[in-house]
Amino acid sequence: MEHDYIHEQHSVHLVIYHIIWCPKRRRKVLVGPVHDRLKQLIEDVVDENGWQIIQLAIQPDHVHLLLRSNPYTLPTDIARVIKGRSSHHLRQEYPHLLKMPSLWTRSTFYSTAGNVSSEIIQHYIEKQSTE
């Protein structure tokens, strides 16, 4: 998988983040219709912000997102927006999620794809999907 650099008026960039987050207490709630709705919500937020999903894997107890962004958006802001919007809608639409104190943990893993090739990350995500 090769990615082209983005050329703007005063900059050239290629910004790829690997972001992982989990439901509170690592509960396996991201299944069935919750899984499908979460996928839709993540895709909507990504499209609205001009980011690009390279790979998305939603497991019952965690989410892997390999995402292309821009140099102006912090990865913490990306996760905050996605986790906030998805928590709001999922808890509103699926009342059983209201039994949890919050949908997501406060912890989030962030990595850039600079030290490890994005192919290796993508392979890892695909492998996680089959386990």
Q: Known catalytic residues? A: 124
**Structure tokens of 82?**
């996605």
Using CA atoms, how far apart are residues 52 and 57, in angstroms rounded to an integer? 14
SS3 65: strand
- β-partners of residue 104 are 23
b/e per residue 16-38 (b: at least 16 CB within 10 A)? bbbbbbbbeeeeebbeeebeebb
